[in-house]
Amino acid sequence: MASKKDVQRVRRVAKERFGYETLRGGQETAIQALLNGHDTLAVMPTGSGKSAIYQIAALLTPGATVVISPLIALQQDQVDAIEAQDVGGAIQVNSTMKASDRTEAFEDLEKGDLEFMFLAPEQFNNPETLEKLQAVKPSLFVVDEAHCISEWGHDFRPDYLRLGTLVEALDHPLVLALTATAAPPVRAEIVERLEMRDPHIVVQGFDRPNIWLGALRFEDKSEKQQALIKAVVKAEKPGIVYAATRKQAEEVAELLQAQNINAIFYHAGMKAKDREAAQIAFMGDEAEVIVATTAFGMGVDKPNVRFVFHHSISDSVDAYYQEIGRAGRDGESAKAILFYHPDDLNLRRFFASSGQIDLEQVEQVATVVQAQKEPIDLKTLKTQTNLSKSKVQTALGHLEAVDAIAILPSGEVTATEPLNLDQVAAEAIEVQERHQQYERSRLEMMRGYAEVQDCRRKYMLNYFGEEFDAPCGKCDRCEAGITIEDAKQPFPLNSRVKHQSLGEGMVMRYEGDKMVILFDDAGYKTLGVDLVLEQGLLRSVE
């Protein structure tokens, strides 16, 4: 527990160096945890000041701070913010730099002329990066967008898998992991993969009360699209429309343009310069509406977005929460509406099943890795297996999950010990099957949000492990006066229970006569409370 003197020191630095009259509870708790020597995971909504945590902690901790961030544009925004506050030198190191500038940056960091260095994980493909950081001996290692390390998360990035070994190679400085969305299993994986010591987990303020929540169900797809177009025309702007496919994004943008709406589209199929131009136009209020796939999002911080509408259902509550969280960052009223057709779930199920690998492909990758006398890089592994990059990465992720391989700081791969190939491949496929089962259960939870009969906000916050007393008064269900009185609740929310066949899990929410359990292996399951009680299906786990 922080002493009064420590608290005063943090608040003084926050006010004098950053101009904060007060810190939010989550910010102060996370900073104190770091100063007390705990690796820390901070799960806080976008716009809640996560960056202030590492900035203040860095000023109060001797030594340099390394920040791992996935996007160059996002890194530059953070560097600009630090320089504007005059709280220590900051620089980003990326592939566009000259070798001499890169060398100078590391020298400045080692001499103490820089406090912060921002890097993408791919920078460690260059062995020199790790060598130079080992010479610097950073005191704080920050992982931004930490959910990218989790295969159970909605935005998994294989390059993040090396970060745990990087931490150890740097003699385990204090670790701060930051994310705006992480359900309980994702939090657990972040802690495990980053090998966090004596971790302190701060989960703060998932509720965004200024965002009105709603969903409209349609049985006819053309009717759904017409309703979406009308809603966008009527809505206060600017706004974002999320579509499931590139074709949908272009089509909806064209329909809006026909209604004299200055709309543009954005998706991964566009040339990089065209995507950048579209984002700049939207961010600069040159376009009223951007219609995008999920390729548009990370690092987007536009305060005045007045609505986020979904043309199709998201693949999880995690993804949906992060997408709608791009609305109302200025604290003013905003709307998040899901335009829902039950058949949209089939497209999401198809997406969820793609990218799977079979037993033979896992054995292929494991065989090549085991045959190497030296660690092997991804490019060589891809060539020797004749598999696509995504399949190789998927196989490596599953093999790493069963401790059959180690992913080194350089991104190279090595076998951890002589492998029983049949056994290892079978275990890796089991990991994939559990993952697919979990993905299906997350989609079911998203369907549950679309079809929920009582407060939408309560449903969403319960999903993230936060209790909430309905009604919220800021969703379509509460405004319509549709509520379900809580029936029996035999097990407290967030308590651990064990099912006879499904194993252990956590109680996430109650809705009328049903309860939702997040099982460790089986994912989310909805059970009837009366059946649970009559048949004794669950028991408490201490």
Contact 314, 307 (CB under 8 A): no
Mean pLDDT, rounded, for 216-227: 92
76-103 residue pLDDT tens: 777 877 777 777 788 888 877 888 888 8
In angstroms, the CA 357 to CA 123 distance is: 28
Q: How far apart are CA 428 and CA 388, in angstroms?
A: 18
User: CA geometry: angle at 31 spanning 27 and 33, to 5°?
Assistant: 120
3-class state of residue 245 by DSSP = coil
Rounded Cα distance between 517 and 529, Å, is 11
The CATH number of the domain covering residues in 211-351 = 3.40.50.300
Percent with pLDDT over 70 in the chain: 95
- Mean pLDDT (whole number) for 414-441: 84
Compute the average pLDDT of residues 505-532: 86
Position 355 scores a pLDDT of: 63
What would the CATH number be for the domain defined by 355-433? 1.10.10.10
Domain boundaries 4-203, corresponding CATH code: 3.40.50.300
* 502 HSE (CA, 13 A, CB side): 23
Cα–Cα distance measured from residue 421 to residue 413, given in angstroms and rounded to the nearest whole number: 16
Give domain limits for the chain: 4-203, 211-351, 355-433, 485-542
Q: Which residue has the higher pLDDT, 487 or 172?
A: 172
For residue 139, the model assigns a pLDDT of 94
Residue 234's pLDDT is 96
Length of the chain: 542
- Model pLDDT for residues 428-487, shown as the tens digit of each residue: 888 888 878 888 888 888 999 998 888 999 999 888 878 888 789 999 999 988 666 556
* pLDDT per residue as tens digits for the range 32-66: 999 999 999 999 877 667 888 999 998 888 899 99
* Residue showing tokens 């009259």: 21
What CATH number should be reported for the domain whose range is 485-542?
2.30.30
Which residues have a Cβ under 8 Å from the Cβ of 281 and sit 6 or more positions away? Answer: 264, 287
Contacts of 101 (CB under 8 A, 6+ apart): none
Structure confidence at residue 299 as a pLDDT band (50, 70, 90): low
* DSSP single-letter state for residue 146: G
pTM of the model: 0.78
Most confidently modeled range among 40-49, 115-124, 353-362:
115-124
Q: Which of 427, 435, 406, 416 is nearest to 161 (CA)?
A: 406
Common-topology check for domains 4-203 and 485-542:
no
End-to-end CA distance of the chain: give it in Å, rounded: 25
Mean pLDDT value across the chain = 87
Is the model's pLDDT at 354 over the cut of 70?
A: no
Predicted local distance difference test score (pLDDT) of residue 485:
59
CB atoms within 10 A of CB 461: 20
Give me the residues paired with residue 264 across strands.
290
11 to each of 5, 24, 27, 47, 206, how far by Cα in Å?
A: 10, 11, 11, 20, 24
